[in-house]
Amino acid sequence: MEKEIWKKPLRQCNVGGEALIEGVMMRNGNRIATAIRKSNGEIVVETTEYVPLSKRFCLFKLPVIRGAVNMIDSMFIGMKALMDSAEKVDIEEEEDSKLDRFLKKVFGDKFFQVMLYFSVVIALLFGIGLFMLLPNWITGWFSFDKSTTGGSILANLIEGLIRLIIFFSYIWLVSRNKEIKRVFQYHGAEHNAIYAYENKEELTVENAIRHTTLHPRCGTAYLFVVIITSIVLFSFAKWHSPLVNMAIRLLLLPLVAGIAYEVFKLAAKSGFKPLRAISYPGLMLQKITTQPPDESQVEVALAALKAVIDD
Q: For residue 299, what pLDDT band results from cuts at 50, 70 and 90?
A: very high
Domain count, the chain: 1
Taking all residues of the chain, what is their mean pLDDT, rounded to a whole number? Answer: 85
Structural domain includes residue 63:
no
Does any domain span residue 147? Answer: yes
Beta bridge partners of 35: 24, 45
Please state the length of the chain. Answer: 311
pLDDT (tens digit, 9 = 90+) per residue, 112-143?
A: 667 667 776 787 788 788 887 889 889 988 98
Residue type, 298: V
Q: Is residue 224 part of a domain?
A: yes
pLDDT of amino acid 43: 93
Tell me which residue of 29, 34, 4 sits closest to 14, measured CA to CA.
29
Rounded CA separation 11/196 (Å): 10
CB burial readout 279-311, b (16+ within 10 A) else e: bebbbebbeebbbebeeebbbbbbbbbbbbbee
Give the separation between CA 86 and CA 60, rounded to whole angstroms: 32
Q: How far apart are CA 157 and CA 74, in angstroms?
A: 29
Q: For the residues 70-77, what does the mean pLDDT come to?
A: 84
The whole-number pLDDT of residue 308 equals 94
d(C-alpha 11, C-alpha 305), whole Å: 15
Tell me, what's the pLDDT at 185?
A: 96
| Region class of 64: left (phi > 0), else alpha (psi between -120 and 50), else beta | left
Model-level pTM? Answer: 0.84
pLDDT digits (tens, 9 = 90+) for 146-198: 888 888 889 988 998 998 899 889 888 988 888 899 999 999 999 999 999 99
196 lies in some domain: no
261 is in which domain, residue-wise? 98-174+214-289
Exposure class string for 89-117: b at 16+ Cβ within 10 A, else e: beeeeeeeeeeeeebbeeeeeeeeeeebe
Q: Considering the domain boundaries, does residue 310 fall inside one?
A: no
Question: Residue 129 has what DSSP assignment?
Answer: I
pLDDT class of 1 with cuts at 50, 70, 90: very low
Q: Is residue 182 part of a domain?
A: no
* Separation CA 206–CA 298 (nearest Å): 9
pLDDT at 116: 65
Of 162-176, 197-211, 272-286, 293-307, the range with the lowest mean pLDDT is 272-286
Residue 167 falls inside a structural domain: yes
Residue 45 falls inside a structural domain = no
* Gap between the Cα atoms of 210 and 193, Å rounded: 10
Predicted confidence (pLDDT) per residue in 27-37, tens digit: 998 899 999 99
pLDDT tens-digit map of 199-226: 999 999 999 999 999 998 888 888 888 8
